[in-house]
Amino acid sequence: MKKYLFHIRSFQPDIALLLLRVASGGLMAYSHGWGKAQKLLSGDMAFGDPIGIGEGPSLVLTVFAELVCGVLLALGLFTRAALIPLIVTMAVAVFIVHGPDPLADKEFAILYLVPYVALFFFGPGKFSADRFMK
């Protein structure tokens, strides 16, 4: 019994990273990126312009980060590279879009930003597509 428990314990950090990747990447892609991608594909370019590059480019970059990079994160494919646009997007949401707002309005963006930063430092773990690309 002890051997089995210790064997599972050796995988606990990797299981935790897998759950964090799949949950935060999958939810971002489905809950946020997919709707914005449909908006983009329909030709509706009305979108906020928080960093002054225009509504269209802001929407395209946000769709790339939230949908494409969210899926890559969930798969654990090019994980650290995929996290950079996600971290930037969530930092813009927290500090620029919701900068003057109360904490309650920033909460969801913070709850995405923190795991993205943690995953950037810890990496994707053993249960990722990145592991097979070495």
- A 10 A CB-CB count for 110 gives 13
Of 130, 104, 117, nearest to 14 by C-alpha is 130
At position 30, the amino acid (one-letter code) is: Y
- A 10 A CB-CB count for 41 gives 9
What span, in angstroms and rounded, lies between the C-alpha atoms of 61 and 59? 6
What span, in angstroms and rounded, lies between the C-alpha atoms of 120 and 90? 14
Q: What is the pLDDT of residue 3?
A: 58
Share of the chain above pLDDT 70, in %: 93
Q: What is the pLDDT of residues 55-95, one digit of tens each?
A: 999 999 999 999 999 999 999 999 999 999 999 999 999 99
Q: What is the pLDDT of residue 32?
A: 96
Lowest mean pLDDT among 1-10, 25-34, 70-79: 1-10
Alpha-carbon radius of gyration of the chain: 17
Which pTM does this prediction carry?
0.90
Largest alpha-carbon pair distance within the chain? Answer: 60
What span, in angstroms and rounded, lies between the C-alpha atoms of 108 and 97? 12
